[in-house]
Copies of this chain bind each other. A is one copy, B any other.
Amino acid sequence: MKDRTIPYKTYLEFNEIPKQWYNLRADMKNKPAPLLNPGTHQPMKAEELAPVFCEDLIKQELDNDTPYFDIPEEIYKFYQMFRPSPLVRAYFLEEKLGTPAKIYYKFEGNNTSGSHKLNSAVAQAYYAKKQGLKGVTTETGAGQWGTALSMACSFFGLDCKVYMVKVSYEQKPFRREVMRTYGASVVPSPSNDTNIGRKINAEHPGTTGSLGCAISEAVEVATSTPGYRYVLGSVLNQVLLHQSIIGLETKAALDKLGEKADIIIGCAGGGSNLGGLIAPFMGEKLRGEADYKIIAVEPASCPSLTRGVYAYDFCDTGMVCPLAKMYTLGSDFIPAPNHAGGLRYHGMSSILSQLYDDGLMEAVSAKQTDVFEAAELFARVEGILPAPESSHAIKATIDEALKCKETGEEKTIVFGLTGTGYFDMVAYEKFHDGKMDDYIPTDEELAVYRARLPKVD
């Protein structure tokens, strides 16, 4: 057995929770491409974004230069409720795999939203409150973001309206009920409340919805209701800024332990967790201070980085949002119905897309049943039932650790365990009963969506 002088769990002290977010863009030589006005194809200005987003968040969204943003006291106070999150040394997993690698994971699931999403939800709710708004609208897929936002809005006394992808609304009644506990109203999407919802329902009767459609509905309601704005749990620059707290805490804990990461692994849907986890490490890499192998892991059923194209695309199905340059599968791509959990967005954060295009990080995809196999192994040895999303990172971590076993290398691997799977037991049940399949889109299918990308010079 390995020497166990390093604790199984490392918590920073109460007053060591970072007091600033880190803006990775400040250190990027090639900045992420700007959002474009879908009509004029010109970069969106703050005033054009104002009907959709909160003022302070727009400033954060558009700021590619300021390296650090102070975390306001009210947000910091809320962070103390559920942060610092532990950095865990995965001794039991290492032992099970028989690997010489050292494995660490940053566990963000110890809060009622069940994931890292709360880090940005509280920030966005705070700025909405500060602006004197009545409420916010949003979409949710697997439900983690909606739950996080409900908690944050309840704390700040804001109204919260969540458009939940219909298939999740029906399959996850308990998620919905948690949101109700926090006073949110939850509407299955597509709904008949909005023009875009009615249009999609008419064109695709019986549709079970998609994230892109739920976004369109939430944006429509936010822009047409006085005192409301729209908030989003991933993809945007502001979200990655808030999520940098994950990476900052991880780095601080590693420094305390005298450890240096070699490989950093995170699951990637829209990029909120990965972008946050890697932020300070990528910063060092960009400044030439250190080198890290950084791996994004995405589902083989929704492979935006590994099989998408780097192009301007719509962020939503209804095409009401600005255009973003990103690795994308096309804005009307929807993963096959058998796809479990989140990570179902058609595109990827502009920041991460640029970094990937610049060769600063790698990407791999994982098949669903392999992911659940890794999840179950992890649950049994490490005692935490992981979310399907997080389990993509577990799968890639196991692969890297087994490579180390072959080569005998004692690498230090750090991965993001974004959340718990308590509300994903339907997916686990499918897996146990052998009813889960691994459908992967064909090249022909992907070509159809790709052909519909908007033409931007």
Contacts and interface: CB of A to CB of B under 8 A. Distances in A.
Interface stretch (A62-70, A353-361, A379-387): A379-387
A256 B114 CA distance: 30
Given A82-B383, A181-B380, 13 more contacts: A8-B81, A9-B14, A9-B80, A81-B92, A81-B383, A111-B384, A112-B384, A112-B385, A155-B381, A178-B422, A180-B432, A181-B379, A422-B422
By Cβ-Cβ distance, the 10 closest A-B pairs, closest first, are A7-B14, A174-B425, A177-B425, A8-B80, A422-B422, A81-B383, A112-B385, A154-B380, A177-B429, A110-B110
Given A8-B81, A154-B380, A383-B81, A178 B425 contact: yes
A388 to B, nearest CB: 12
Contacts of A13: 7
Q: Is the interface of A mostly helix, strand, loop or mixed?
A: helix
A242 B80 CA distance: 30
Interface string A370-404: 00000010011111110000000000000000000
Contacts of A415: none
A422 B144 CA distance: 13
A11 B11 contact: yes
Contacts of A8: 14, 80-81
Interface string A424-440: 01101100100000000
Oligomer copy total: 2
Contacts of A385: 112, 178, 181
Interface string A168-179: 000001100110
A173 B429 contact: yes
Contacts of A34: none
Contacts of A423: 422
24 contacts: A7-B13, A7-B15, A8-B80, A9-B14, A9-B80, A81-B92, A110-B110, A112-B383, A112-B420, A114-B422, A154-B380, A155-B380, A173-B429, A174-B422, A177-B425, A177-B429, A178-B422, A178-B425, A180-B429, A180-B432, A181-B379, A182-B379, A182-B380, A422-B422
Interface of A: 7-9, 11, 13-15, 78, 80-82, 92, 110-112, 114, 151, 154-155, 173-174, 177-178, 180-183, 376, 379-385, 420, 422-423, 425-426, 428-429, 432
Nearest to A177: B425
Contacts of A151: 383
Contact of A428 (B177, B183, B380, B420): B177
A183 B376 CA distance: 10
A195 to B, nearest CB: 30
Contacts of A81: 8, 92, 382-383
B14 A425 contact: no
A420 to B, nearest CB: 8
A429 B180 CA distance: 9
Contacts of A114: 422
Contact of A181 (B15, B78, B376): B376
A382 to B, nearest CB: 7
A385 B154 CA distance: 13
Contacts of A15: 7
A89 to B, nearest CB: 10
Contacts of A173: 425, 429
